Amino acid sequence: MTHTARPFGTARPYRAAAMYWLVLAGTATVAGIVRETWLVPRLGELRSHQLGTVIVCASFLAVITTFVRHTRPTPHIALAIGACWLVVAILFEFGVGRLVDGLSWSRLLSDYDLSRGRLLLLVWLTVGLGPLVLTRMHGRPG
């Protein structure tokens, strides 16, 4: 009986995903600092939030594209990684918001109010679905 090993194995995308999540977290942190120190004084809070969200989503898509090209996950693995990234990112966001910044739950949740121009939901869609969408775009249809 002949066994053909997959070139990247099953564990490799998950190990790489942990490292790439750190890159995503670092990217979001730097973007937040830039937004608060440079954009808010020039554009105001709402416009800075909106522009910052677009910048973070674009940056995340670039990182996720690199991840997909590097690890070549299956669509199933890409979806699982996106789901894991999403859960960890939300825990990180709310954990830092509550424990470090001392923000109230209502203030944290206000960033999801699309009717008021708050766009944080787009970041979560990018993180959660980005790996799957980009995997399919780069030739792994499932």
Q: What would the pLDDT profile of 96-123 be if each residue is shown by its tens digit? A: 999 999 999 999 999 999 999 999 999 9
Q: Among the ranges 9-18, 83-92, 132-141, which has the highest mean pLDDT value? A: 83-92
Predicted TM-score of the model (pTM): 0.86
Virtual CA dihedral for 74, 75, 76, 78, nearest 10 degrees?
90
Q: Residue 63: name the closest of 138, 136, 126 by CA.
A: 126
In sequence order, which ranges of 3-141 are alpha helices (DSSP H)? 11-34, 40-43, 45-71, 75-95, 105-110, 120-137
Q: How confident is the model at residue 12 (pLDDT cuts 50, 70, 90)?
A: confident
Q: Where are the domains of the chain?
A: 11-137
- What does the radius of gyration of the chain's CA atoms come to, in whole angstroms? 17
Q: pLDDT higher for 9 or 84?
A: 84
Digit-coded pLDDT (tens) for 124-141: 999 999 999 999 998 765
